[in-house]
Structure 1
């Protein structure tokens, strides 16, 4: 995972202007032809002052494919975003990318696309308990945990045997290890508590327990899952001082 930087257009313009002001012509052995007389210089208009290049405005970048309604849900204080996108509303396969917001250049991707899974039946903007769809929206990421030791996250990390996953998934795949690392998605939960806290501010009917967790090679009940190595990277990258969020949904919904 690495920041991607590009030379600023303004810097290129200043370098080019500097070359014009300094001149690129070679010297001459004939002093008589290299030096104009005062009269010749006056006649040629010597001493003309060239205007300094105008400073260029850098357009701050937005996260690709997010529409104005979705962007408006990302607080100004947020400078980290995990963007999870599905191609269509009923797809349970998605792509995740990490973004950071630079105060001048705007949002910059800081990861390659990561494969992800979401709810078996895709996405919804009205999630309900047991609908097997993942909620669309922008949600805070404040709390983490898992069965395995903290891999080095800055988020509060709750470790314990309660994160043991059992049974099989929708495609017969074993669920063991799915909760080795989790990040709670702040959908219908109380931020600042363990991911295991079952408080449901919107009521039990609106579901909950939506996490980012280790992928088990199949669709989820409503969570987002990432390969185990990516989960460790994510946990180490997330910084509560940067008010991280997850932006999640299908392309059409997020483009609004």
Structure 2
């Protein structure tokens, strides 16, 4: 009985540990800023983002902030090329599935309808001329393009300036990039939510005030990443 209890305790500790940032340290050796998103189940549309930072990879993680987020209308799906392991029942992410990707992803440019200064990340001010292409047959699949300079070989795309404020502030997530594989999913961003009960098409969204805090906190030199997982 003692051995059984010991085994049970070890399994329990491993399960609990797997829900913390520390269990992912092996995958975070080159990053000193992490946006850690957890959802309670694979089909949940709501989750929580925890911001962590450290001075360098030999120092402990420090909690910076946390706030609610919404994810894809169908929950999360695993990145087929992710380094981290997943529950075998978690589906694989693909184009048009309405799921946000689960895995670890580098972050690229901050974008906004407005000119922003004093950021520590690459920045692009977007307008109605900017598209993100989600047509799997296009050479520009999962790329940010200027519509007036690109050779139009696509029939499907996202406007980077919307009638609403969802893309007023955002961050490009490097999911299915370098290279982009047709059909694995595209145009994944962090952006402003419509409200706390409205899911996205596959992005991760948050309140505007939290988006603003986030983009001014991010530091390219700290190699920030998005770590997104199902909690159980």
TM-score by length of 2: 0.68
- The offset of 1:65, in angstroms, is 2.1
- Cα deviations by residue, 1:20-57 (Å, 9 ceiling, x for unpaired): xxxxxxxxxxxxxxxxxxxxxxxxxxxxxxxxxxxxxx
- The offset of 1:73, in angstroms, is 2.2
- How many aligned positions are there? 169
Decide which of 65, 85, 89 is 2:20's aligned counterpart: 65
User: How well do the aligned residues superpose, as a CA RMSD in angstroms?
Assistant: 2.0
Given that residues 19 and 231 in structure 2 are in contact (C-alpha distance below 8 angstroms), is that contact kept between their aligned partners in structure 1? no
Secondary structure of the residue aligned to 1:247 is strand
- Cα deviations by residue, 1:163-186 (Å, 9 ceiling, x for unpaired): 3224xxxxxxxxx10000110111
- The offset of 1:151, in angstroms, is 5.5
- Take 1:209 and 1:180, find their aligned partners in 2: how far apart are those partners? 15
Indicate whether 1:99 and 2:52 are aligned: yes
More strand by share: 2
- Take 1:152 and 1:102, find their aligned partners in 2: how far apart are those partners? 21
Secondary structure of the residue aligned to 1:89 is coil
Indicate whether 1:215 and 2:193 are aligned: yes
Secondary structure of the residue aligned to 2:27 is coil
Structure 2 stretches lacking a partner, 5+ long: 1-16, 79-91, 129-159
Q: Which residue of 2 aligns with 1:237?
A: 217
Decide which of 156, 159, 165 is 2:162's aligned counterpart: 165
- The offset of 1:66, in angstroms, is 4.0
Gap change, CA 1:148 and 1:63, over 3 Å in 2: farther
Q: Which residue of 1 aligns with 2:63?
A: 109
Q: Which residue of 2 aligns with 1:170?
A: none
Given that residues 122 and 220 in structure 2 are in contact (C-alpha distance below 8 angstroms), is that contact kept between their aligned partners in structure 1? no
TM-score by length of 1: 0.61
Given that residues 151 and 235 in structure 1 are in contact (C-alpha distance below 8 angstroms), is that contact kept between their aligned partners in structure 2? no
1:1-256 equivalence runs, <5 A = 65-66=20-21, 68=23, 70-74=24-28, 76-103=29-56, 105-111=59-65, 113-125=66-78, 126-150=92-116, 152-162=118-128, 163-166=160-163, 176-190=164-178, 201-217=179-195, 218-252=198-232
Q: Which residue of 1 aligns with 2:146?
A: none
Given that residues 35 and 227 in structure 2 are in contact (C-alpha distance below 8 angstroms), is that contact kept between their aligned partners in structure 1? yes
- The offset of 1:188, in angstroms, is 1.3
Structure 1 stretches lacking a partner, 5+ long: 1-61, 167-175, 191-200
- Take 1:231 and 1:145, find their aligned partners in 2: how far apart are those partners? 11
- Take 1:90 and 1:164, find their aligned partners in 2: how far apart are those partners? 28
More helix by share: 1
- Take 1:102 and 1:89, find their aligned partners in 2: how far apart are those partners? 33
Given that residues 21 and 36 in structure 2 are in contact (C-alpha distance below 8 angstroms), is that contact kept between their aligned partners in structure 1? no
